[in-house]
A and B are shown apart, each in its own frame.
Chain A
Amino acid sequence: MINITEDNLIQKCSKGDADAFAPLMKIYRQRLFSYLFKLCGNRITAEDQFQETLIKVWRAFPKYDERNKFSSWLFSIAHNSAMDALRKKNLHEFLEYNEESEFETGTDDPHMELINSEAHKIISRAVDQLPIKQREVFLLRVNGEMTFKEIAEATKEPLNTVISHMHYSVKKLRKILRQEYAE
């Protein structure tokens, strides 16, 4: 949903105008942090990766091609950064089999919006249980609002694979939701 203001901010950032960076990132702040938080599995890693992403985006801005969708470019950078960090920290395996949900919706951060509704909690927990590949695709679609073609490019996976990860994720979430509401 690029509007004129956002376009202007993007152009200014491309030209190295530091004043435009904070307002532009503010537009994506919550979506980007949510994505990193759910992908990384904990707030500390998510915050580290949020900082990393900001630095990488700012440094890469002179090379941003305006023909590409900005949000996809931003989330691709975030995705690559986070996945690299997870691989390096060898957390991949841990996340893959992390059945015990580490994610609590409560936080000390007074600015954070708490997730109150029951459905939200169920979805949030269910997403945590997805294997990393499925979670990756699901979050890029939901938080990154990327198309599956864009996700395939960002994750360097074939389009069919990406779509089957999405099918799996949605199927699992629907199943969990149905179970929860049947109880």
Chain B
Amino acid sequence: MPNENRMTCEKFNRDLFLYIDTGLPVEQIEFYSEHLKYCSGCRKLLEETEELLALSSTALGEDIGDAKFEFMVSKTLAKKQPGLVKKFFLPEKNKKENSFRLGKIALSSVLVIIAVVVSLLIVKPYAVPAEITNSGMMDWNGEEFNLKISELSDELNGDEWNEEEAELLFINERINQLLK
């Protein structure tokens, strides 16, 4: 079955990396494993590829050095992990991120609205703090207050007004005298 074989070889070539990853269905892996037993070409391809990957992982080895690494770690740890509030709004893994975050934001908004409504119902408007009422600052009533104001304004304006009036009366008198 040379044709069938060639087709399997082509398929294996295409699936090579998934075979290495074991990212194929079990029966497919078993099928290829069976094929590899008698196909030297595919076996060679697999071995060489695995060898190349292994060689590459050592070939590409670079290091940052202890001093820099430790400096970077301490710089990192100087930054705090996000607090509870921020954590709450961070996208969660394995969840529909946007809808999940929007849900959280919506829930928080509803809670805030409820809190505002409740506070409006409970807290009395214009309530005077106890320390003011107790200190005697509120020891008056409206009538007394109005009286006091009119007294004060009379006191303040009274003299001035009387002087002006007296002057007017005096001028009036002089005019009358002259007219006579």
* A contacts, CB < 8 Å to B: 16, 18, 21-22, 25-26, 29-30, 33-35, 37-38, 46-47, 50-51, 54-55, 58-59, 61-65, 67-68, 109-113, 115, 117, 119-121, 123-124, 127, 138-139, 141-143, 145, 147-149, 163, 166-167, 170, 173-174, 177
Question: B50-89: contact bitstring with A at CB < 8 Å (1 yes, 0 no)?
Answer: 0011011111111111111110110111010110000100
Kindly state whether residue B92 has any CB partner on chain A within 8 Å: yes
Please determine whether B64 and A65 come into contact, CB atoms closer than 8 angstroms.
no
B77 CB contact (under 8 Å) in A30, A58, A115: A58
B side interface size, CB within 8 A: 39
**16 other A-B residue contacts (CB within 8 Å) besides A62-B90, A120-B59:** A21-B73, A30-B62, A54-B72, A55-B79, A67-B94, A68-B94, A109-B64, A111-B66, A113-B63, A115-B61, A121-B59, A139-B60, A143-B60, A148-B21, A173-B52, A174-B52
A166 to B19, CA, bound (A): 13
- Known contacts: A30-B62, A33-B63, A64-B93. The answer to whether A59 contacts B18 by CB under 8 A is no
Secondary structure class of chain B's binding surface, majority of residues: helix
Most chain A Cβ neighbours within 10 Å, of B16, B81, B90 = B81
* Min CB gap A129→B, angstroms: 14
* Min CB gap B24→A, angstroms: 11
Please determine whether B49 and A59 come into contact, CB atoms closer than 8 angstroms.
no
A54 CB contact (under 8 Å) in B60, B76, B93: B76
* Min CB gap A65→B, angstroms: 4
Provide the residues of chain A in CB contact with B58, threshold 8 Å. Answer: 120
Please determine whether B73 and A22 come into contact, CB atoms closer than 8 angstroms.
yes
Kindly state whether residue B103 has any CB partner on chain A within 8 Å: no
* Min CB gap A23→B, angstroms: 10
Please determine whether B73 and A47 come into contact, CB atoms closer than 8 angstroms.
no
A28 to B72, CA, bound (A): 14
Please determine whether A174 and B48 come into contact, CB atoms closer than 8 angstroms.
yes
* Min CB gap B10→A, angstroms: 13
Kindly state whether residue B17 has any CB partner on chain A within 8 Å: yes
